[in-house]
Amino acid sequence: MARRASSRVSQRFGAVDPAAAPGMSRGETAGACASAAATPHPPSSTAIESTLGRMPVSLPRGPGVRLCLLRMTLATVCGQLVLGGFPGPSLSADYARALREGRRSGAILFKANVDGGLRQVGALAREVHALAESPLLAIDQEGGRVARLRAPALVVPPMRTVASWADAAFAEAIARGVGDELAALGISLNFAPVLDVDTRADNPIIGDRAFGPTPESCASFGVAWIRGLQSAGVLATGKHFPGHGDTSRDSHLELPVVDQPRARLEDVELVPFRAAAAAGVAALMTAHVVYPALDPDRPATVAPVVCTDLRRAIGFDGILVTDDLEMQAIAARGAIDDAAVEAIGAGCDLALVCHDFEAQERVFEALVRRAERSPAFRARCEEASSRVRRARSRARARPLDDGAILEAVGGRASSGVQAEIAQRLQA
């Protein structure tokens, strides 16, 4: 099914990235346009003329070309808004094609993608970087029980333990060490740190992943972690906005509710996120959680009051990433493509679909279809795409050669930090 979906998307939208069009021959461009022009849709004349104005004067012009450029622009815009994963230690042919054609902004790596050792991870990262300029190559490298990379990479204890040392400077040094290793591997986006305040003992998913039970501790150490990662050229992601610490349910399995008044959210849950926004965090990840004080029915991921109004209220203008849309808290509500359209429309900038390639393709197609029909939704997609492109240009992580990776990951620079961690754990 994945291969049929990939073929269908290419036939419908063309396999041409408009950013690459100036380097194409007239014949290649005309052929792609002829394919795309087969299905008429009412174009936006302003968007078309703007795009035409950026094209070489030698390219053919006319209604068919205008339609092709509009559709290619939509495909490129909406492709920036989808981030997915793939199975195994190397890129699948389908995912590689999606990257090459601009239907993904990058990829997320899980344990199965990085279990083959540092050389394997480096080779995979180089392949991703070769297919997309400055891709968002993401990973969950928090420390403790959520760490995809294991030794010889830095082995970091849970964030609760790090905060218990009451040394924010050392926390920043650990995060800088993690960031340096990720950057050497070409991993540009880390879905860390957790900024949730651990206020509920029966929380099945947060616990020691949080820096502690007080908003002040979570803010202080969260900012230190963000500074450490981003000083290494890796984009940090605060999660799970606007707070997953007061839940008794796991959003991977069902939809949690945080039934706290707005004043309590302001005084507790939002404190670390405000601090992270003020510190220039590159990204925030939404929580698949209902907050009745904000929206009585919709999870934060698809609630405009959270993804537009609240993000503006805390002063955040980075990329707002959904948590995985395949999680049951969202999947149980309906089709994943509808959820993605709802999330982007609400104010998210990047739809995360971690595993199912067919679902990723459906999300991409749904975003383009809605953008074709709705000028307002197209404008929202363009805003989100602009944020994603800005973040991609900001990330400095590039995969090194194997020798340099072996020196950087678990090497001399990391060994001092690792020794200090070991000493503090034994104290």
**Active-site option among 208, 323, 324, 337:** 323
pLDDT at residue 32 above 70? no
Q: Average pLDDT, stretch 194-218? A: 97
Residue 72 has pLDDT above 80, yes or no: no
Query: Mean pLDDT throughout 54-75?
Result: 48
Query: At 283, is the secondary structure helix, strand, or coil?
Result: strand
- Collapsing DSSP to helix, strand or coil, 144 comes out as coil
pLDDT, mean of residues 52-71: 40
pLDDT number for residue 1: 43
Share of the chain above pLDDT 90, in %: 81
Q: Is the separation of the CB atoms in 148 and 111 below 8 Å?
A: yes
Indicate the SS3 state at residue 260.
coil
Amino acid at 333: R
Provide the pLDDT for residue 62: 46
Q: How far apart are CA 19 and CA 290, in angstroms?
A: 39
Q: In angstroms, what CA-CA distances link 106 with 92, 149, 187?
A: 13, 19, 10
48 pLDDT band, cuts 50/70/90, is very low
**Tens of pLDDT along 334-346?**
999 999 999 999 9
Better-scored residue on pLDDT, 53 or 298: 298
Close Cβ partners of 123 (under 8 Å, ≥ 6 residues apart):
90
Residue 323 DSSP class: P
Tell me if 328 sits within 8 A of 301, measured CB to CB.
no
Both tokens of residue 27?
A: 């014949």
Which domains, from first to last, does the chain contain? Answer: 2-75 (no CATH), 80-408 (3.20.20.300)
pLDDT tier at 254 (50, 70, 90 boundaries)? very high
Q: How confident is the model at residue 427 (pLDDT cuts 50, 70, 90)?
A: confident
Q: What is the mean pLDDT of residues 234-241?
A: 98
Tokens of 137: 């190559």
C-alpha closest to that of 340 among 332, 329, 330: 330
| Residue-level pLDDT at 31 | 35
Using CB atoms within 10 Å of the CB of residue 424, give its burial: 0 to 12 exposed, 13 to 18 middle, 19+ buried. middle
Note whether 254 and 288 are within 8 A (CB).
Answer: no
From the list 41, 115, 250, 252, the catalytic residue is: 252
Look at residue 50 and tell me whether its pLDDT is greater than 50. no
Q: How confident is the model at residue 73 (pLDDT cuts 50, 70, 90)?
A: confident
**What is the C-alpha separation between 179 and 190, in angstroms, rounded?**
8
Q: What's the farthest any 2 CA atoms get from each other in the chain? A: 74
Mean pLDDT for the chain? Answer: 87
Confidence tier at 250 by pLDDT (50, 70, 90): confident
Q: How many CB atoms sit inside 10 A of residue 120's CB?
A: 14
Q: Above pLDDT 70, what percent of the chain?
A: 83
pLDDT tens column, 379-400: 999 999 999 999 999 999 999 9
Statement: residue 36 has pLDDT above 70: no
- Alpha-carbon span 48 to 62, nearest angstrom: 11
For the cut 50, the answer to whether the pLDDT of residue 143 exceeds it is yes
Encode pLDDT of 260-289 as tens digits: 999 999 999 999 999 999 999 999 999 999
* Residue 44 confidence class, pLDDT cut points 50, 70, 90: very low
pLDDT at 208 over 70: yes
* CA distances from residue 276 to 172, 195, 255, 268, 344 in whole angstroms, order as listed: 14, 9, 26, 14, 22
Radius of gyration of the CA atoms of the chain, in A: 22
Q: Quick count: other Cβ atoms within 10 Å of Cβ 49?
A: 12
Q: What is the pLDDT at residue 332?
A: 94
Catalytic residue at 323? Answer: yes
pLDDT at 193 over 80: yes
Query: Which one has a higher pLDDT value, 18 or 227?
Result: 227
What integer pLDDT is reported at residue 225 of this predicted model? 98
Section 155-167 average pLDDT: 98
117: CB partners within 8 A, 6+ apart:
none
Nearest CA among 155, 209, 144, 162 for reference residue 181: 155
In DSSP terms, 350 is beta-bridged to: 321
Q: Residue 104's closest CA among 350, 331, 286, 345? A: 350
Inter-CA distances, 184 with 48, 226, 414, Å: 40, 18, 12
336 CA to centre of own chain:
17
Q: pLDDT tens-digit profile of 297-342?
A: 999 999 999 999 999 999 999 999 999 999 999 999 999 999 999 9
* Each residue's pLDDT tens digit, 80-106: 999 999 999 999 999 999 999 999 999
Tokens for 357, please give them.
């390639």
Sequential DSSP letters for 354-371:
-S-HHHHHHHHHHHHHHH
Q: How far lies 28's CA from each of 14, 23, 35, 256, 348, in Å?
A: 11, 10, 11, 51, 35
Position 413 scores a pLDDT of: 84
